[in-house]
Amino acid sequence: MASEDVVGKSTGDSAVTTIVNLAEEAKLAREGVKAPGHAILSICKSLVAGGVAGGVSRTAVAPLERLKILLQVQNPHSIQYNGTIQGLKYIWKSEGFRGLFRGNGTNCARIVPNSAVKFFSYEQASSGILWLYRRQSGNEDAQITPVLRLGAGACAGIIAMSATYPMDMVRGRITVQTEKSPYQYRGMFNALGTVYREEGFRALYKGWLPSVIGVIPYVGLNFAVYESLKDWLVKSKPYGLVEDSELSVVTRLACGAVAGTIGQTVAYPLDVIRRRMQMVGWKDAASVVTGEGRSKAPLEYAGMIDAFRKTVHHEGFGALYKGLVPNSVKVVPSIAIAFVTYEVVKDILGVEMRISD
């Protein structure tokens, strides 16, 4: 993820070039890492910190996450969930406490490796981009800019999302199924196998394109805004929020909240389309998706553009923001907790991987 102060100066090339990529080599050289073993240990610790951050943050807001997805994909002719408070009450009444966390196990199984790869990839991408930027500009003291952070964040998000997308696809379906669903997936692996057998391998990547496009503003802005806010606070030290160039946990929490709010608002319509595309071709789809009685009908989209067109045509522009309220309530603490947890866990583990600011 992000880093704070410059930890070390350039000490030249080292023997780690045989086991790490260009970005990692550049960072290790700058930080003065002396042995490959130390590099591997630091990488593992960084991955663990990212995984813990993702798991803790998503579990904390699981009920709101499920409600958001239900609002995004529910049949407009058969409304069951009509707002945040009503929706949560309805889930509690119809499915009980466990219903609030339906799909959370699959989400955690997906988000832990996703977050780990995302945070770790961001550190590597930032290091590599800064190294290339310094070479191109000829200024060895050049610092990473918000634009470069945006690129690093987008790259990290695309890599992580693509690596775990099939898990996210089936997670969406498990999340919307209820006790009344005609067919019950018995877990993540059962869902992956069932989708593969009945719909083919490509079905596991339904909605992938809007996901990739959405990663750029969502993840990119999250990281860029968070890092830029930290830099500004450290340099300007407004209202006594910074002491000895260190930000408090509360201040970092606020930075994460602002970053998350901006990122999710810009990318939200793409998230709605992604979820709807994931439901296409599900022959035993949950009734919340297909509707009931005379309103029952299969979802059919020829692609991302067709999904946008049909959604706006049949339901209006506001349909692209269905579920935005619970998502806004959810995403602020979720992103904030993820960022802060990551840095706290890194400190506990003694991770010495820092990107020059």
pLDDT digits 0-9 by tens, 25-48: 334 333 443 444 556 677 677 777
Asked if residue 95 has pLDDT above 80, the reply is yes
Q: How would DSSP label each residue in 112-171?
A: HHHHHHHHHHHHHHHHHHHHHHHHHHT-TT----HHHHHHHHHHHHHHHHHHHHHHHHHH
Asked if residue 169 has pLDDT above 90, the reply is yes
**What pLDDT is recorded for position 25?**
37
Q: How would DSSP label each residue in 169-188?
A: HHHHHHHH--TT-SS---SH
The mean pLDDT value for 182-187 works out to: 83
* Top-confidence residue, 205 or 33: 205
**What pLDDT is recorded for position 240?**
65
pLDDT digits (tens, 9 = 90+) for 272-283: 999 999 998 887
**What pLDDT is recorded for position 333?**
78
**What pLDDT is recorded for position 305?**
95
**What pLDDT is recorded for position 137?**
84
**List of residues 6+ apart from 161 with CB closer than 8 A:** 114, 118, 168, 211, 212, 215
Range name among 154-168, 240-254, 277-291 with the lowest pLDDT average? 240-254
The mean pLDDT value for 159-184 works out to: 87
* Top-confidence residue, 332 or 270: 270
- Do residues 177 and 286 touch, judged by C-beta distance below 8 A? yes
Range name among 120-129, 202-211, 266-275 with the lowest pLDDT average? 120-129
Highest mean pLDDT, choosing among 33-37, 123-127, 321-325: 321-325
How would residue 19 be classed by pLDDT, with cut points 50, 70 and 90? very low
The mean pLDDT value for 262-288 works out to: 87
* Top-confidence residue, 292 or 258: 258
Asked if residue 16 has pLDDT above 70, the reply is no
Percentage of the chain beyond pLDDT 70 is 81
The mean pLDDT value for 170-196 works out to: 88
- Do residues 262 and 221 touch, judged by C-beta distance below 8 A? yes
How would residue 73 be classed by pLDDT, with cut points 50, 70 and 90? very high
**What pLDDT is recorded for position 326?**
92
**What pLDDT is recorded for position 22?**
34
Interatomic CA distance for residues 183 and 283, integer angstroms = 9
